[in-house]
Amino acid sequence: MLFSDLASYLERLEKTSSRIEITKILAELFKKTPANEIGVTCYLVLGELAPSFRGVILNIAEKMMFRVLAKAYNKDVLSVIEMYKKKGDLGLVAQELGTRHKALGTSLSVAEVHEELMKVAREGGEGSQERRIEILVNLLKNLDPLSSKFASRIPVGRLRLGFSDKTVLDALSWMEAGDKSLKPLLEKVYQVLPDVGLLVREVKEKGAEKACKGVMPVVGIPVLPMLAQRLKSPAEMIEKMGEVSVEPKLDGLRLSLHLGPNLLKAFTRNLNDNAWMFPELKNASKYISAKSVILDCEAVGLDEETKMMANFQTTMTRRRKHEIESASKKVGIDFFVFDILLKDSESYIDKSYLERRKVLEKTLKPGGPLKLVDYELTRDSGRIMELYLKKVKEGFEGVVVKRVDAEYVPGRTGWRWVKMKQGERAQGKLADTIDAIVMGYTAGRGKRVSFGVGQFLVGVKGGDKIVTTSKIGTGLTDEQFREMKKRLTKLEVKEKPKEYEVHKNYTPDYWVIPSLVVEIAADEITKSPTHTAGIALRFPRLVKFRDDKSPNDATTLKELKRLFELQK
């Protein structure tokens, strides 16, 4: 398929707001795309080159793209910058310059454009910046204006057309069945192998049933994590779950740990491999009785002076690559393992919790960085409360209560895992925090002028839409205000993203693309006639930035409504 044909589909997708119409357009595109190109086509319509766990990042700054456009269309950089200030979109600038320059190139295929962008991503070392510019310049010179519009957005991460992997799964079902009936089957496979490009190609070649048959975890590819739900009381937990296991809840970084011959991966919730953060894992394979495993664990910092468990923010100081050595001396890391998904090519995700725990106990060897999380079985709600109070006293966040006969099912489905966190309810606060998506912000006034941020608007996932639930301007330190501005400036866009539903009362000064996830605490949830979630957070405040989570991991409207019910 020619990239110019793909660009026509991208133009249609950009102009369409209806979710069902977007799904049908994608299904039509997938039907017309050859099997050998459908994988890369899928990545490109999502503004990516590969699934996130592959770590393929273009990361081109806007300043560099100004130079690319100037060189490709024989303009000076200042005139390109002026055009950008007026249009607020590099793609529109590229399209206009291409039209003026009479760029008519239409011969490049989708696969060829993808390969050129991959070359840009692979460039590194001395002189790589100039080589990257040259590749992009030659690419744009060989594209027609409409193709240039979209090819210019991808390197700076601004293609976003208002849909995600889940819409691609809908479209794949429409391609095969003419409706969404195959979505549950496709979703189950995607949860185990979260690579939509691979899935689309397999379905195109084999059909949905054959492509989805016998799928199991693969070492090196993250499985989407199983998540805990919330219930009002230990009594309700026993009522809904029967016999349970009670484990301590840790305030750490959730990791999917993959160990194998010459392989070490540590995937966070957003599917990024952060093994580089943890030099402690270098020899972890010595402490497992297996050739390869996939483990579910929590990385928790240990303050070397006090020998106490550190909080999440302290653990996350490891994300600064150039300071890893010094950070590891100040804050050591222990890896508390609580589940096993795969061992030596045998999958355990369909086994019960108790079966998985038995395998896990035989797999971990003592003495290394991998610590086995303890647990206790009970059918007594009073014992759950006793263990909860005991764990809180020992410095844990609370407990996680797990149904003993439950399989490992990614996401929050059924009453399989339930969390019980420290103290908020007893203090008259909301029973849990919210992982919200930052949607935009207003400029600071008074003292906050120097910060550049006065308030920021947050929302939660309501299906494929992002709906508002609060504006937040309190509870931040001066440092957090400055950090917020630094992060949001990189995400600014001129137009409101398509997936946002926002009442006119909450229109911010600056919109940002859905990328930054923050953890928010609040006193309670109230009904709201203006917030598009229909409910709002009362006295919201920033707890921390969640760099380990993507917008797909954010709290859903369904979960927020559940919290609203729990506080009654």
Eight-state DSSP code of residue 171: H
Helix intervals (H) in 123-163 = 128-141, 145-153
Q: Is residue 249 among the annotated active site residues?
A: yes
8: pLDDT strictly greater than 80: yes
For CA atoms 461, 541, 268, 162, the dihedral sign is positive
94: pLDDT strictly greater than 80: yes
The chain-wide mean pLDDT, for the chain, equals: 90
Eight-state DSSP code of residue 467: E
Q: Contacts for 451-457 with beta carbons within 8 Å, 24 or more apart?
A: 451/478, 451/481, 451/482, 451/484, 451/485, 452/482, 452/485, 452/489, 453/481, 453/484, 453/485, 453/488, 455/508, 456/484, 456/488, 456/508, 457/502, 457/506, 457/508
- Phi, psi of 296, deg, nearest 5: -105, 125
Average pLDDT over residues 313-317: 63
398: pLDDT strictly greater than 80: yes
Whose tokens are 């971990």? That residue is 364
For a pLDDT cut of 90, what percent of the chain falls above it? Answer: 71
Provide the pLDDT confidence category of residue 34 given band limits of 50, 70 and 90. very high
Choice between 406 and 52, residue whose per-residue pLDDT is larger? 406
How far apart are alpha carbons 342 and 266 in whole angstroms? 15
Q: What pLDDT score does 426 carry?
A: 40
Lowest-pLDDT choice from 137-146, 330-339, 454-463: 330-339
- Phi, psi of 204, deg, nearest 5: -60, -40
Lowest-pLDDT choice from 297-306, 352-361, 432-441, 530-539: 297-306
Q: What pLDDT score does 373 carry?
A: 96
Q: Is 477 exposed, middle or buried (0-12, 13-18, 19+ CB in 10 A)?
A: exposed
How far apart are alpha carbons 381 and 92 in whole angstroms? 61
How many Cβ atoms sit within 10 Å of the Cβ of residue 138? 12
Average pLDDT over residues 192-198: 95
Cα–Cα–Cα angle for 153, 156, 158, nearest 5°?
Answer: 50
Provide the pLDDT confidence category of residue 437 given band limits of 50, 70 and 90. very high
428: pLDDT strictly greater than 50: no
- Tell me the one-letter amino acid at 342: L
- Tell me the one-letter amino acid at 511: W
- Phi, psi of 398, deg, nearest 5: 155, -140
Residue 439 CA to chain centroid, in angstroms?
15
The answer to whether the CB of 333 falls within 8 A of the CB of 382 is no
Helices (H) and strands (E) in the chain, counts: 20, 20
From 499, 527, 559, 538, select the one nearest 16 (Cα to Cα): 499
322: pLDDT strictly greater than 60: no
Supply the CATH classification number for the domain 434-566: 2.40.50.140
3-class secondary-structure state, position 173: helix
Whose tokens are 């061992």? That residue is 343
Average pLDDT over residues 326-347: 85
How far apart are alpha carbons 91 and 147 in whole angstroms? 9
3-class secondary-structure state, position 549: coil
Structure-token pair, residue 137: 């310049």
From 537, 557, 427, 54, select the one nearest 273 (Cα to Cα): 54
How far apart are alpha carbons 351 and 355 in whole angstroms? 6
How far apart are alpha carbons 46 and 48 in whole angstroms? 5
Whose tokens are 């937990």? That residue is 237
What is the CATH superfamily name and number for domain 3-156? Answer: DNA ligase, ATP-dependent, N-terminal domain (1.10.3260.10)
The answer to whether the CB of 469 falls within 8 A of the CB of 531 is yes
Average pLDDT over residues 339-367: 96
243: pLDDT strictly greater than 50: yes
Q: Give me the residue spans of the domains in the chain.
A: 3-156, 234-421, 434-566
Lowest-pLDDT choice from 11-15, 38-42, 463-467, 526-530: 463-467
Provide the pLDDT confidence category of residue 251 given band limits of 50, 70 and 90. confident
81: pLDDT strictly greater than 80: yes
Whose tokens are 């137009």? That residue is 495
pTM of the model: 0.86
Average pLDDT over residues 517-536: 94
Q: What pLDDT score does 343 carry?
A: 97
Average pLDDT over residues 333-348: 95
Q: Out of 183, 204, 249, 343, which one is annotated catalytic?
A: 249
Residue 212 CA to chain centroid, in angstroms?
24
From 175, 268, 174, 221, select the one nearest 552 (Cα to Cα): 268
Average pLDDT over residues 249-266: 93
Domain 234-421 bears CATH identifier 3.20.20.70: no
440: pLDDT strictly greater than 90: yes
How far apart are alpha carbons 484 and 104 in whole angstroms? 42
Q: What pLDDT score does 321 carry?
A: 58
Provide the pLDDT confidence category of residue 478 given band limits of 50, 70 and 90. confident
End-to-end CA gap in the chain: 56
Q: What pLDDT score does 536 carry?
A: 95
Q: What pLDDT score does 381 carry?
A: 95
Average pLDDT over residues 40-57: 93
How far apart are alpha carbons 264 and 285 in whole angstroms? 9
